[in-house]
Chains A and B, each alone.
Chain A
Amino acid sequence: MSITEKLLCSKSHEYLLLNDDNTYTIGLTDYAVEQLGDIVFIELPEVGNEFKKGESFGAVESVKAASEIYMPISGKVIEINESLVDSPETLNDDVYESGWLIKIEATGEASEQDDLMEYEDYKEDLE
């Protein structure tokens, strides 16, 4: 099973991945990063910060523009990808393995995931 088959994606181009320990990993889809172009800056929250679904938890900037990154579900930040803050350009190489943004514990209802799409549907939705 490829990693994309396990993803849920939001309309604002974040992905949500359920980990074995019931935490979630959040990142940006390959499509989002491809559209942004050269990534030059990434701003991530602090561990312990809590956000509601739809709230901005950080920002990613390409040469062209700044974009906010939004929570696909409500959660509490338990880990951030520090290496990405130091080397934002590596996000252009990979968004799923080394290019994840944050890990969270979900704090909302399961129904928050109802409007998220499976990767294949997300890709179709883009067209």
Chain B
Amino acid sequence: MTKETFLHDKHIKLGAKMVDFAGWHMPVQYTSIIEEHKTVRENVGLFDVSHMGEVFVSGKDSLAFLQKIVPQDISKLAYEKAVYCQLPNKSGGLIDDLIIYKLGINFYLIICNAARIDEDLNWMVRNKKGLDVKIDNQSHNYSLLAVQGPKADALLRTMGLDTLQESFSIKPASICGKKLLISRTGYTGEDGYELLVENEFSEELWDEILDYGKDFGIKPIGLGARDTLRLEAGLHLYGNDLNENITPIEAGLSWSVPKDKKEDYNGKDVIMSQIANGVTKRLIGLKMLDKSIARHEYEVYKNGEKIGFITSGGISPILNANIAMAYVKNDKDICIGSVVQVMIREKLHNAEVVKRPFVNKNNRVKI
């Protein structure tokens, strides 16, 4: 059965076009994906991302447990800070990607993908054997609202919220009399916040943000623009760009895999060997050289030879060009500036290998 967030009726009233996504009935757009996209890049947008999973980890072995399940070094994660991680299987392939937040001593929050909550929980339970850890899935009790864009900080301050100074930090706060957790994170490549609030307060908070947000040019934003925004920012989408057969090194996520972490973790031997010896396939960014649009699963060629496939592709409303991410064989001749071809409806179209992210943040904040 399709699930609904506590904000479902708000979306319907706002005239959103709804779709089924990861088992949830979610707004894909309210007016126009392109308009919504530009609103987030220029002003501020409000997203309902309550479908995301929230899992609390506590107990005296919390750190040892987290060290075992992610490549990141969680011992270096400071109080009220957050870190982007992956959950590898024993072969280094990814069960999910996540953000881990440290809320206290032996108290962590994991935010994971809606479609992967069951797999993640299964995997975590299998990995807690012999450890004093409590894994508490609270996804059904919390709503998550994302306020994203260069004006997000100013908007929330206007609402009386004591906002955060640094990116990737989190703290308890209160806004309009409601307690919540506020973190300076997001999935748009823009500055912004995510607000974790108990379900019963979500509707009121949604309305307040839209109301105060009027002066900042706020709009509600659907999953359609969430996808174009994250693609422009070069951010991976689990299920498209990440799966159980792709390692973080192949995915271009080496920056999130410390080389000096002492503890063993799932897939460490494969991941470390790839860091030392290289990979056979890797993720690249592409910009189409004509008006055609590369899409998920289209094939990529060079000199008539199939070298890989597109995992995410679409338009970039900001660059006014069409962009994509692809996995291709690791070859020194396929580098920034190289031209490859994408097969679209039985015709080859030229694309240039370019750097990710495709666009830069308007408002850089200190990490």
Interface residues of chain B: helix, strand, loop or mixed (majority): mixed
**Pair A59/B345 contact, Cβ less than 8 Å:** yes
B287 at the binding interface (Cβ < 8 Å): no
Shortest Cβ distance from residue B320 to the other chain A in the assembled complex, whole angstroms = 10
Q: Give the B interface residue count (CB, 8 A).
A: 15
Q: Is A64 touching B345 in the complex (CB atoms < 8 A)?
A: no
Distance between A124 CB and nearest chain B CB, rounded to angstroms: 21
CB closest residue in chain A, given B313: A66
Say yes or no: B228 contacts A63, CB within 8 Å.
Answer: yes
Contact yes or no, B345 A37, CB < 8 A: no
B262 contacts across to A, CB distance below 8 A: none
Number of A-B contacts (CB under 8 A): 31
Which residues of B lie under 8 Å from residue A68 when comparing CB positions?
Answer: 345
B-contact 0/1 string along A40-59, CB 8 Å cutoff: 11010000000000000001
Q: Find out whether the CB atom of A41 lies under 8 angstroms from the CB atom of B28.
A: no
B224-A63 in contact (CB<8A): yes
Does A118 interact with chain B (Cβ within 8 Å)? no
A66 in contact with B315 given A37-B32, A38-B33, A59-B345 (CB within 8 Å): no
Tally A residues with Cβ within 8 Å of B: 12
User: When chains A and B are docked, how far (Å) is the Cα of A64 from the Cα of B296?
Assistant: 11
User: In A17-69, which residues have CB < 8 Å from any B CB?
Assistant: 37-38, 40-41, 43, 59, 61, 63-66, 68
Q: Could you tell me if B28 and A61 are in contact, using CB atoms closer than 8 angstroms?
A: no
Q: Decide if B34 is an interface residue (CB 8 Å cutoff).
A: yes
- Chain A's nearest CB lies how many Å from the CB of B49? 18
With A38-B32, A38-B34 known to touch, is A63 a contact of B314 (CB < 8 Å)? yes
- Tell whether A37 pairs with B33 under 8 Å between CB atoms, given A43-B345, A64-B28, A64-B224: yes
* List of 9 A-B pairs having minimum Cβ-Cβ separation, nearest first: A63-B33, A38-B34, A38-B32, A40-B315, A61-B293, A38-B33, A41-B293, A66-B295, A64-B224
A residues engaging B (CB < 8 A)?
A: 37-38, 40-41, 43, 59, 61, 63-66, 68
| Chain B residues with a Cβ under 8 A of chain A | 17, 28-29, 32-34, 224, 228, 291-293, 295, 314-315, 345
